[in-house]
Amino acid sequence: MSYFNDVILGVIEGITEFLPISSTGHLLLAQHWLGARSDTYNIVIQAGAILAVTLIYWRRLVDLATGWRDPANRNYLAKLATAFLLTAVLGVVVKKAGFELPETVTPIAWALVIGGLWMLLAENLAARLPDSAAITWRVAVAVGIAQVVAGVFPGTSRSAATIFAAMLLGTSNRAAATEFAFLVGIPTMYAASAYQLIGQVGSGVAEDWTGLAIAFAVSTVTAFVSVKWLLGYIRTNRFTVFAIYRIVFGILLLGMGMAGIVS
């Protein structure tokens, strides 16, 4: 039964990591029922979702790496690097300052609700802008800052914060904003996962490596499918359904927290 639980957790992580609905809240609730997992476990299954997105964008990544002589590619790479470095520097500052909300039900639930309402507003504002797939420097800076904000406020959703930061500041085309947000997320999340994993080395916590491997594999496959679906969905649809889902799920978590079902 325990390995079946690992499959469930891998599915949840794979579905929620890159959809703009926050993986943190879903894993918090799932692990309440299925049993808490170590930080190492949560980091590794997150890496599975990152691997899936890397595989989806591998042609784009290879094109950017091998075509750096092209001015457009160099410009795009420079903006990716700027967003990543801004996240890294500000992330270290925030970490050293200890400014981070706990991953408990109440702040996560409020972040889900507030984030959902903000997504509805942002979607309407972005719809009034002329369609543009261009990534400007202010978009790159905003995406870098948005990643830090999402890290400080669990439940915000890194993908939601970065996609809508890009859309509101000029990249109104959903597909272009999502691609940039996801490409920035690849090195950012690899670096964050590696940093956290190194911190866990020698912690002395016993780990079920078989269960972790199962969850990692399931997370990778599930994330690949869910992100592929999302990229097709947003070509002709808004993010409204995700915003509504966040609000409903956040209210549900608040109610469960008040009832003492989760903490």
Does this model's pTM top 0.85? My answer is: yes
Q: Does 237 map to a domain?
A: yes
Under 8 Å between Cβ of 54 and 186: yes
> 202 is in which domain, residue-wise?
2-258
Q: What is the pLDDT along the chain (263 residues), one digit of tens a residue?
A: 579 999 999 999 999 999 999 998 899 889 888 888 888 888 889 999 999 999 999 999 999 999 988 999 999 999 999 999 999 999 989 888 877 777 788 999 999 999 999 999 999 999 899 999 999 999 999 999 999 999 889 999 999 999 999 999 999 999 999 999 999 999 998 988 888 778 776 666 677 889 989 999 999 999 999 999 999 999 999 999 999 999 999 999 999 988 888 77
Residue 77 in domain: yes
| 263 part of a folded domain | no
Domain total for the chain? 1
Q: Is residue 152 part of a domain?
A: yes
